[in-house]
Amino acid sequence: MKKEVENFYDHLKSFYSDVLRTRSKTISTREFKQKVIDIYEAWKTDIHHVLEAFEIENDVLSRLDNLFNAVYEEAKMRVANINNVKTKIGEIHDIFWKQVVVVLRREKETASLMESASFLGLDFNWSLATCALQLQEVAITLVAKRKNILLDKANVERTLNKRIQRLTFNDQYEAFSVQVKKSFEVEMPILAQHLRKMRAKVLHEGYNPKPEETESIVGFTIGLLQKLEGIN
């Protein structure tokens, strides 16, 4: 992700320099318009989502969206006003640079943390799978609280109609699924047995999942979040 942001910023900075060097107040060259389109499409298809993943504030993303849209609309005109483009690109440049700094700092902190734990032999798949697995539990807990679904031991036993020796996330998820189906008519994804076993291995035993195992965990988590968003 960091490299995508850096490359986009270099592209944006180069284009901004080209705009500043342009002397005429209006420009209609095909090259100029194509550069605007390239930058706009890169922002829309990739970079916006990258910054979103780094939890950049929504108002900053909205402001950038508006500026990119304005530049794009200007470029679509038969004769573009270079002063308008220059002003908006300048604003984008300044705002975006601050976001690059945020992204780089977060990347550095994450890399530093994993580097400190490198002697444990934990790899990228472990990091991603751990994030996804923890997100499952946090998401269920938050939505349960908002919907007043109680997932303590007594209520889970009552919902599942069975005695539980030690309350686990698997039990809570099963009870949560029963209650949201009853109250909201929403079918939660089935937490398959291999995912239950993988949870314990990754989180508690330091198992490095294979790429396809990580993909399965992440895929299930995304499906889970989409379901939760529908009832949240």
70-89 pLDDT tens trace: 888 877 777 767 777 778 87
Q: How much is the pTM?
A: 0.55
84 within 8 A of 36, measured Cβ to Cβ? no
pLDDT, tens digit, for every residue of 104-134? Answer: 666 666 667 777 777 888 887 888 899 889 9
The mean pLDDT of the chain is 82
Domain count, the chain: 2
* Residues 6+ away with beta carbon under 8 Å from 173: 136, 140, 188, 191
Structural domain of 103: 2-116
* Intra-chain end-to-end CA distance of the chain, in Å: 29
Average pLDDT over residues 62-71: 84
Q: Are residues 198 and 135 in the same domain?
A: yes
Note whether 163 and 143 are same-domain residues.
yes
Give the model's pLDDT for residue 180: 95
Position 194 confidence tier, pLDDT thresholds 50, 70, 90: confident
**110 and 149 belong to one structural domain:** no
Is residue 181 located within the same domain as residue 166? yes
